[in-house]
Amino acid sequence: MTHILEADISVELTKNSKLKDIDFNNLPFGKVFSDHMLLCQYKDGAWNAPKVVPYQPITLDPSAKIFHYGQSIFEGMKAYKDKDSNVFLFRPLENWKRFNISSKRLAIPEIPEAYFMEGLKALLKADKDWIPTAPGSALYIRPFVFASGNGFHASPSDEYLFIIATAPSGAYFSGKVTVAIEEKYSRSANGGVGYAKAGGNYAGQFYPTQLAIEKGYNQVVWTDDTSHEYIEEAGAMNIFVRINDTLITAPTSDRILDGITRKSLIEIAKAEGIEVDVRKLKVSELVEAAKNGSLKEMFGSGTAAVISPISGFGYQGTDYELPELETSYAKILKTRITDIQYNRTEDPFGWRVKI
């Protein structure tokens, strides 16, 4: 690991803070940006020390490889503030590890732990006042890296920019979501980049998702690319299905993002005495369970979405509605995970990191 002291990270504070213009009680998701960003350049075979600078546009040559070959990956994290204004991250090393797993798959040079972690801490120190406290809000953190080197040759770039931008944000979805189970398009394939948080994975989802939205659904549930028989993910979320009292989620694979919320919920659910079955789930089993009443709930999980209950799904021209439950697993698990994230309870798992 490269050692770096916070003091080695240069900090240039803005002279024109936008803080006073923001309505922190009515925050959209990811549309309002904090005063500063972290900037780090890869050049001549090495990452240079990161800098905290005022949030600003970046200039790129039209031949920059990001535009042509899509060499880019990102992460999604949140900073949470408790009632005493202490700031916390949730399992941030998992994001750093996944950042580098994604980078490796896209032939992007990996970021040293200290550049990621200490850079993030320096940024959060500069923008502490941007972390919102209204219920359900948090500072959404978007670390990303992309090919900034020039040239039309289809080969990895020799220069990259690693940036962390942050956005005080409210809920990702307002209310319950309905999903269409995908029967034709695929988000990912064996041997592909589905397990990476690569920008292109999201671009490829937009068109099939638009088609689903035109039919009245909010999101697509991705199925496996070969048979479209198995449930995999839901948009930018992992997916959980409760049949009777068992919570089922697909095992991670080449095609599925190893969600940090997903793996945390699996552990929390087990600690709560909920039976969790990590296994492949056939769409036909889901449909059968919806018909015979054993399908109790479905929800998506993710950093942005937290836990998003699904109220119904469409498959082969038929819509299936889920029951309204008094005490849902989604509600119990959301309370448990957010209580840990916002420092409202003990953290028996050791996931919370104070900044």
What is the pattern of x (binds ligand COI, CB under 6 A) and - over residues 58-87?
------------------x-----------
- The minimum distance between CB 323 and ligand PLP, in angstroms, equals 25
The residue whose Cβ lies closest to ligand COI is 76
Task: Determine, following the binding rule CB under 6 A, whether residue 261 of this chain makes contact with ligand PLP.
Answer: yes
* Part of the chain binding ligand PLP (CB under 6 A), chosen from 107-115, 258-266, 273-281, 306-314: 258-266
Binder to ligand COI among 304, 307, 310, 337 (CB under 6 A)? 304
Please state, in angstroms and rounded to a whole number, the distance separating the CA atoms of residues 243 and 285: 10
Which tokens is 135 given? 């219920």
Three-state DSSP state, 40: strand
- The minimum distance between CB 102 and ligand PLP, in angstroms, equals 11
- The minimum distance between CB 329 and ligand PLP, in angstroms, equals 17
- The minimum distance between CB 239 and ligand COI, in angstroms, equals 13
Is 281 in contact with 248 (CB distance < 8 Å)? yes
Residue carrying the six token digits 């980078």: 103
Which tokens is 263 given? 């793996």
Torsion angle defined by CA atoms of residues 101, 107, 108 and 109, in that order, rounded to the nearest 10 degrees: 80
- The minimum distance between CB 284 and ligand PLP, in angstroms, equals 23
Please state, in angstroms and rounded to a whole number, the distance separating the CA atoms of residues 133 and 79: 11
What is the pattern of x (binds ligand COI, CB under 6 A) and - over residues 283-302?
-------------------x
- The minimum distance between CB 319 and ligand COI, in angstroms, equals 26
Q: Which of 185, 202, 195 is nearest to 254 (CA)?
A: 195
Three-state DSSP state, 250: coil
The strand ranges marked E within the chain are: 10-11, 36-43, 46-47, 51-54, 72-74, 77-81, 87-90, 138-147, 160-169, 177-181, 219-223, 231-234, 237-243, 246-249, 275-278, 295-302, 306-315, 318-321, 352-354
Residues 227-246 that bind ligand COI (CB under 6 A): 236
Residue 259's binding partner among ligand PLP, ligand COI, none (Cβ under 5 to 8 angstroms by kind) is: ligand PLP
- The minimum distance between CB 225 and ligand PLP, in angstroms, equals 14
* Part of the chain binding ligand PLP (CB under 6 A), chosen from 30-38, 223-231, 254-262, 339-347: 254-262
Torsion angle defined by CA atoms of residues 206, 196, 231 and 138, in that order, rounded to the nearest 10 degrees: -70
Interacting residues toward ligand COI by CB under 6 A: 76, 202, 236, 302-305
Binding site for ligand PLP (CB under 6 A): 76, 233, 236-238, 257, 259-262, 301-303
